[in-house]
Amino acid sequence: MPALRALSPFAHQEYRVLITALAISIFGSGMWAVAMVYEVIYLGGGPLELSLVAAAGSVGLVAFLLAGGIAADRVPQRLLIIAVEGANLAVIASISALAMAGLLQLWHLAVGAFVLGVGAAFFFPAYSAILPRILPPEDLLAANGLEGTMRPILQQAAGPAVAGVLVAAMSPAYAVTGVAVCHLLAFCILNFLHRQPAAGAPGTVGTEGTASGGANVSGQTRAKKSLRHDLREGVSYTVRTPWLLWTLLWACISVLFLIGPIEVLIPFVVRDQLGGDARMFGFLLAIMGVGGAAASLATASFPLPRRYLTVMMVSWGLGSLPIAAIGIMDSFWAVAAALFVFGATGSVGMVIWGTLLQRRVPPHLLGRVSSLDFFVSLALMPVSMALAGPAAEVLPLWLIFLVAGTVCPVMAAVAMVVARMPADELAHPLAGGAEEARETEQSSGAEEPAEDGLAGS
């Protein structure tokens, strides 16, 4: 049954521990997004101060993301995840104590946001790399789908809602304290993760940090390699793996063309074309989030498609087409439908993409490749948002949205052709654990013959 397939990862104790802690931590992050804003306002800050605090978190994330990927391939992921959650707890608890004592200042919030950003830079690659160790290959799609369902519900809806109630009923300091409680619970739960991957998990050999492709490849030999060598190895693998390289190139283009119009220009579509206000804009974003959550859960409920690369790229490409018409829409429900489709198709592609990284990238490179993925996406987000405003000063909105919505499908088709994705997915079937195990074994060395054959053809 599809519903049972979506819940299959919960059969594994390690996953139950990890996902419970992650859910609580994500809920706390949603609370922090609201608590931080109102702490800044409570301390007398305005838009400038709020931008500086928010930017501090982004700087910490982007600046340390590649280092986080290297760490995820060098340090046992369990220890890295626990350390990050411990650092989050220390930061939020300190801010809470200062706020309760009336000693909190804006620079405290900026430093705290920076540290939280650094923590996220180390957490995401480690989480992506640990999943293939605690789950069999056939459960990874469901696990990624469950995470994709959980994030919009907890981080974009439930967490902010609870924080808003606490701020309104008491003060921002109590909301921050609630965030600290969330991180405390998550930290305690994470300590129940076993030091050794579950028996029979992919890549398991013996002890933590010595699994095949784990945090320690060839023991001390890997420890002697420089950080520059590790980064170069991850970049080299990405460049010579066609399906991976061209998917990341497509992601760069899509982030550059889509994020700015959606985040910066849709509020003006709401005001000028729909006659709405901030509430309508927020509702539209919520509809996009609902589409993403529903599609993530649906993707988790079925097996990985045999034509997984094709489904992923077609979902992303065709799902961008409705954005092309937003600039000429004058109906709220038309815009809502376009954003719902965009959110849903984007989540289908993201769930498959996360699963492909965990199943096709050699385990000892997974942390670095995951961090490159995040870095590419996050680095161009501010660029896209910075360009959207000036572009709207010289070009009509309908033209900007038309270009954004059509460039991405075209590039998706180009990526599929150049990387020979239809042939690649048939040459590397992922229908079950046996195929995945054979592929991982073939690619666990410094070279990946199967992928190199495609690159050289």
286-334 pLDDT, tens digit per residue, is 788 888 888 888 888 888 888 999 999 999 999 999 999 998 998 899 9
Query: Between residues 89 and 300, which one has the greater pLDDT?
Result: 89
- Residue 159 lies inside a defined structural domain of this protein: yes
What pLDDT is attached to residue 314? 94
> Tens digits of per-residue pLDDT, 259-271?
878 877 887 888 8
Count, in order, helices (H) and strands (E) of the chain: 21, 0
Position 379 in a domain: yes
Same domain assignment for residues 183 and 324: no
The verdict on 135 and 239 lying in the same domain is no
Domain termination residue (choose one: 128, 162, 192): 192
Position 429 pLDDT exceeds 90:
no
Same domain, 256 and 309: yes
Looking at the fold, whether 188 and 247 belong to one and the same domain comes out as no
Q: In terms of domains, do 273 and 325 share one? A: yes
User: How high does pLDDT run on average in the chain?
Assistant: 80
Q: What is the 3-state secondary structure (H, E, C) of 16-43?
A: HHHHHHHHHHHHHHHHHHHHHHHHHHHC
Which pLDDT does position 444 carry in this prediction?
42
Tell me: do 110 and 239 sit in the same domain: no
Domains contained in the chain, number: 2
Query: Per-residue pLDDT for 239 more than 50?
Result: yes
In this structure, the answer to whether residues 271 and 171 fall within a common structural domain is: no
Residue 356's alpha-carbon distances to 148, 246, 425, in angstroms, are 15, 14, 11
241 with 186, same domain: the answer is: no
Residue 174 lies in a domain: yes
75 falls within a domain? yes
Residue ending a domain, among 163, 192, 221, is 192
Count CA atoms closer than 13 A to 382's CA, side-chain side.
Answer: 10
229 domain-assigned: no
Tell me, yes or no, whether 208 lies in a domain: no
For 136, the domain range is 2-192
Distance of alpha carbon 32 from alpha carbon 155, whole angstroms: 9
Which helix (H) or strand (E) segment is 135 a member of?
Answer: none
Residue-wise pLDDT tens digits, 135-186: 888 888 888 888 888 887 888 777 877 888 888 888 889 999 999 999 999 9
Instruction: Kindly tell me if the per-residue pLDDT of 216 is higher than 50.
Output: no
Residues 268 and 347 in one domain: yes
Alpha carbon of 207 to those of 128, 282, 362: distances in Å? 19, 48, 19
Question: Rounded distance, CA 261 to CA 270, Å?
Answer: 12
Q: Give CA–CA dist 377/33, Å, rounded.
A: 21
pTM, to two decimals: 0.69
Q: How many residues does the chain have?
A: 457
CATH number at residue 98: 1.20.1250.20
333 plus 410 within the same structural domain: yes
Would residue 187 count as lying in a domain? Answer: yes
- On the question of pLDDT at 250 being above 50, the answer is yes
More confident residue, 73 or 409: 409
Are 269 and 414 members of one domain? yes
| Most confident region among 140-154, 233-247, 274-288, 366-380 by mean pLDDT | 233-247
Residue 209: the pLDDT is 37
Q: Is the same domain home to 155 and 97?
A: yes
274 CB-near residues (< 8 Å, 6+ apart): 280, 329, 330, 331, 332, 335
The residues, ordered by sequence, that sit 6+ positions from 225 with a Cβ below 8 Å of its Cβ are none
* 153 close to 107: Cβ distance less than 8 angstroms: no
Average pLDDT for 407-415: 93
Is residue 83 in some structural domain?
A: yes
